C-alpha cells in the first residue's frame, strides 16, 4: 500500500458522466436509500443555484460533495466506495429531465446516461452507472431507459425499499420539473453539466479507498463553528470583560451539550435569515446575525443567552412558567416527535421574547403544531417547510397578526382539505406519518391525557389482516376490493405497546380480540380498546369508524373540508 497512488481532483458533472468513468456499485454496498426529502433538497438547491445569476456565464460553481472510487487511472471502470446516493440521484434527475427539454438537449442527456458502443472497439451501449446486481435491471428498465420513465407514476407495491426509493424520487422530480418551462429545465441541465462539481478521490486498491472513506467521514473533536465564533465574538469584547462573557458562553454550552449547542447556532441563523442555508454556517451566521448584532456583549446577553434558554425549554419540553405549563409541554412533546427540527426557530423565537406568557405561548404552539402536523401529513418537503417557517418568523419579527386567516401560521382552505384527504387515504403506507397521526389521534380520543413515554416500543397493527388466510372469516366478511380499500386506512389501525406477532396477525376477529388485543398485551390505548369492544369488524363498521376518526382529527387540527 505504501506505493499506492491517490488522486483527487474537482470535476464537473459533465466531466464525470463521460467515457472516462464507468461507475459500478459493488454488491457489498448498502442499497440505494435516499428519500424524497433528500432528493428534493438536492433538486431545490441545484435549481436555486442555477437561478442565482442572470446568466450562466456568471454562475458560481456549486459543490455537490466528494466521491471515493477504486479505479485504475488507465481504466474507465470505477467501483464506488462512497458517493452512491449522489451519483444515483443525479442519474435519476438527468434521466427524467429528458422529457422536459428539447430533442437536442434530450439526445445530449442520453449521452450522460448511456455510453454509446463503438463497433471498432467491439463495445456495446452500456449505462454509465450500474447499481448493485439486485437493482440494476429495474434501474435500467424504468430509470435509465427513457421509455420506462412513462410507467413510473403507475408503479405500485414496488419492492424492495431501494426500488421504492428510486420510483418515489423519480416521480417527485417529474412533478417538480413539470412546474418549470422548457427554457428553465435546459438552463438547469447546463448548470448541472458545467457548473456543478464533485471532488473525485480515486486509488487503485480497495484498502486505500476504504481508508480514505473512513478518514473523510470520521468525526473528531476538531474546532467547530461555535468555537470559531466564540473566538471572534469574545475576542472583540474589551479585555476587562472577556472572562465574564466567556463564562456566560461556556455556561450555555455546558447546559445544552456540545452537539445541541452547535445546532442552536443553526436555529439562530434561521431566526435572523429566515431562509434555507446555502453556504457554510460560519459565513451565513456572520452575514445574517453578526451584521445585525455586531456588539459582542449584546450578542451574548440579548441573543445567545435567551435563545439558549428557549432552546433548552423547547427541545426538552421543560416549560414551568405559568398555569398552562402542562398543556404547553404536551404540545412541545408532540413537536419533538415530528422527525424534523424545522419548527424550532419560530418556537425559540416565541419563547425568548420577554413579553411571552403562558396563554400566548399555548395559543402559538397550538397553531404551530397544527401547521407542522399538516405539513407532515401532506409530505411537504424540507425546502418548502423552511420557506413556510421563514414567513412565520418574518410575521413574528414585524409583529403582524399571526392568527389572521392570511397568516403563514394558519392553514389555507386548500391545505386543510388536502390534509383531510391524506388522512382519509392509506395512512399506514407512510412510515414517518402513521405513528405520529395515530398517537395524536389516540391522545385526542383520551382528551389529551394519554402518555406514551413509558412504552419503549409502540407499533401499529392492522385489525383486518393484510394477507388473511384463504377461507377465513375475513375473506367472507370483505370482498377483495373492500379489503384492498380498507386495510391501510385509519379505521383499520390500532396501537400496540409491544412488537407485532406475525402469527397472531391473521387470527379471526374474536380470537384476535381476546389473544392479541387483551389488556396484558396492550397499553390502554383508546384506539385499541374501541376495537376490543366491537362485536364485528365489517366494511360498514369501518366506514362509520373512519368518519368518526376523521372528525376527531379535523376537530383537533381545525380542518374544514372544501365545499363540494
Contact call for residues 29 and 85 (beta carbons, < 8 A): no
Q: Which three cell numbers stand for residue 159?
A: 419492492
Locate the DSSP E strands across 463-504: 493-496
Where is pLDDT greater, at 525 or 35? 35
Strand 196-203 with 6-12, pairing: antiparallel
Which DSSP category does 323 fall into? T
* DSSP H or E stretch at residue 499: none
Helical axes 305-316 vs 344-351, angle rounded to 10°: 120
SS3 per residue for 9-28: EEEEHHHHCCCCCEEECCCC
Strand 62-70 with 196-203, pairing: parallel
CB-based burial of residue 319 (10 Å sphere; 0-12 exposed, 13-18 middle, 19+ buried)? buried
What is the reported pLDDT for 459?
Answer: 82
* pLDDT at 477 exceeding the cut of 90: yes
Question: What are the residue ranges spanned by the domains of the chain?
Answer: 6-217, 225-410, 423-556
Which of 70, 78, 85 shows the shortest CA–CA distance to 16?
Answer: 78
* pLDDT at 214 exceeding the cut of 70: no
SS3 7: strand
Which DSSP category does 213 fall into? H
Where is pLDDT greater, at 75 or 215? 75
SS3 108: helix
* Spatial separation of the C-alpha atoms in residues 80 and 66, rounded to whole Å: 11
* pLDDT at 3 exceeding the cut of 70: no
* pLDDT at 58 exceeding the cut of 60: yes
* Spatial separation of the C-alpha atoms in residues 103 and 100, rounded to whole Å: 9
Q: How far is CA 533 from CA 420, 526, 528, 536, in A?
A: 27, 10, 9, 9
* pTM as predicted: 0.73
* DSSP H or E stretch at residue 198: strand 196-203
* pLDDT at 293 exceeding the cut of 60: yes
Least confident of 78-82, 312-316, 553-557: 78-82
SS3 443: helix
Share of the chain above pLDDT 90, in %: 64
Contact call for residues 383 and 429 (beta carbons, < 8 A): no
* pLDDT at 216 exceeding the cut of 80: no
Confidence label for 220 from pLDDT (cuts 50, 70 and 90): very low
* DSSP H or E stretch at residue 79: strand 77-82
Instruction: State mean pLDDT over 120-140.
Output: 87
Tens of pLDDT, residue by residue over 175-204, are 999 999 999 999 999 999 999 999 998 888
Tens of pLDDT, residue by residue over 500-530, are 555 567 788 888 777 666 655 555 688 888 8
Confidence label for 316 from pLDDT (cuts 50, 70 and 90): very high
* pLDDT at 38 exceeding the cut of 70: yes
Tens of pLDDT, residue by residue over 325-353, are 999 999 999 999 999 999 999 999 999 99
Contact call for residues 424 and 437 (beta carbons, < 8 A): no
Q: Give one DSSP letter per residue of 112-155, joined into a string.
A: HHEEPP-TTTT---EESEE--HHHHHHHIIIIISHHHHTTGGG-
Instruction: State mean pLDDT over 291-307.
Output: 96
What is the reported pLDDT for 254?
Answer: 85
* pLDDT at 408 exceeding the cut of 90: yes
Distance of CA 281 to the CA centre of its chain: 20
Instruction: State mean pLDDT over 318-324.
Output: 90
Confidence label for 213 from pLDDT (cuts 50, 70 and 90): low
Amino acid at each position: 500500500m505504501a506505493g499506492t497512488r491517490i488522486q483527487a481532483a474537482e470535476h464537473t458533472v459533465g466531466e464525470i458522466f463521460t467515457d472516462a468513468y464507468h461507475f459500478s456499485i459493488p454488491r457489498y454496498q448498502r442499497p440505494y436509500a435516499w428519500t424524497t426529502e433528500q432528493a428534493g433538497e438536492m433538486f431545490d438547491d441545484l435549481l436555486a443555484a442555477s437561478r442565482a445569476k442572470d446568466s450562466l456565464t456568471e454562475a458560481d460553481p456549486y459543490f455537490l460533495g466528494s466521491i471515493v472510487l477504486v479505479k485504475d487511472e488507465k481504466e474507465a471502470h470505477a467501483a464506488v466506495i462512497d458517493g452512491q446516493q449522489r451519483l444515483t440521484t443525479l442519474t435519476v434527475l438527468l434521466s427524467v429531465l429528458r422529457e422536459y427539454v428539447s430533442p437536442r438537449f434530450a439526445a445530449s442527456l442520453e449521452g450522460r446516461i448511456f455510453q454509446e458502443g463503438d463497433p471498432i472497439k467491439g463495445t456495446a451501449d452500456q449505462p454509465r452507472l450500474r447499481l448493485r446486481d439486485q437493482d440494476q435491471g429495474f434501474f435500467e428498465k424504468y430509470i435509465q431507459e427513457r421509455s420506462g420513465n412513462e410507467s413510473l407514476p403507475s408503479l405500485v407495491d414496488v419492492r424492495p425499499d431501494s426500488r421504492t426509493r428510486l420510483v418515489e424520487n423519480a416521480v417527485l422530480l417529474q412533478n417538480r420539473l413539470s412546474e418549470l418551462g422548457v427554457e428553465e429545465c435546459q438552463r438547469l441541465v447546463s448548470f448541472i453539466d458545467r457548473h456543478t462539481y464533485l471532488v473525485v478521490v480515486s486509488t487503485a486498491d480497495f484498502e486505500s479507498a476504504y481508508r480514505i472513506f473512513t478518514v473523510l467521514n470520521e468525526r473528531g473533536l476538531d474546532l467547530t463553528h461555535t468555537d470559531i465564533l466564540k473566538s471572534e465574538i469574545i475576542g472583540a469584547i474589551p479585555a476587562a470583560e472577556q472572562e465574564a462573557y466567556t463564562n456566560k458562553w461556556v455556561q450555555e454550552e455546558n447546559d445544552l451539550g456540545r452537539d445541541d449547542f452547535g445546532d442552536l447556532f443553526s436555529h439562530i441563523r434561521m431566526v435572523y435569515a429566515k431562509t434555507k442555508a446555502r453556504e457554510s454556517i460560519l459565513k451565513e451566521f456572520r452575514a445574517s446575525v453578526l451584521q445585525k448584532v455586531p456588539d459582542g456583549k449584546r450578542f451574548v446577553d440579548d441573543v445567545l443567552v435567551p435563545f439558549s434558554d428557549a432552546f433548552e425549554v423547547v427541545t426538552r419540553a421543560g416549560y414551568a412558567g405559568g398555569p398552562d405549563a402542562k398543556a404547553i409541554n404536551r404540545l412541545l412533546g408532540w413537536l419533538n416527535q415530528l422527525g424534523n427540527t424545522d419548527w424550532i426557530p419560530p418556537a425559540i423565537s416565541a419563547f425568548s421574547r420577554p413579553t411571552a406568557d403562558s396563554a400566548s405561548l399555548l395559543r402559538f404552539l397550538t397553531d404551530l403544531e397544527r401547521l407542522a402536523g399538516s405539513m407532515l401529513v401532506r409530505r411537504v418537503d424540507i425546502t418548502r417547510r423552511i420557506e413556510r417557517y421563514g414567513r412565520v418568523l418574518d410575521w413574528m419579527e414585524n409583529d403582524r397578526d399571526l392568527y389572521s386567516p392570511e397568516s403563514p401560521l394558519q392553514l389555507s382552505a386548500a391545505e386543510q382539505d388536502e390534509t383531510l384527504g391524506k388522512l382519509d387515504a392509506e395512512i399506514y403506507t407512510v412510515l414517518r406519518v402513521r405513528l405520529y397521526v395515530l398517537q395524536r389521534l389516540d391522545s385526542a380520543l383520551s382528551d389529551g391525557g394519554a402518555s406514551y413515554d413509558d412504552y419503549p416500543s409502540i407499533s401499529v397493527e392492522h385489525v383486518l389482516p393484510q394477507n388473511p388466510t384463504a377461507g377465513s372469516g375475513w375473506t367472507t366478511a370483505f370482498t377483495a376490493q373492500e379489503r384492498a380499500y380498507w386495510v391501510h386506512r385509519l379505521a383499520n389501525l390500532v396501537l400496540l405497546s409491544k412488537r407485532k406477532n406475525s402469527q397472531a396477525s391473521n387470527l379471526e376477529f374474536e380470537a384476535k380480540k381476546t389473544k392479541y388485543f387483551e389488556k396484558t398485551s396492550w397499553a390502554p390505548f383508546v384506539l385499541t380498546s374501541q376495537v376490543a369492544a366491537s362485536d364485528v369488524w365489517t366494511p360498514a363498521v369501518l366506514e362509520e369508524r373512519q368518519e368518526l376518526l376523521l372528525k376527531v382529527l379535523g376537530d383537533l387540527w381545525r380542518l374544514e373540508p372544501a365545499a363540494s
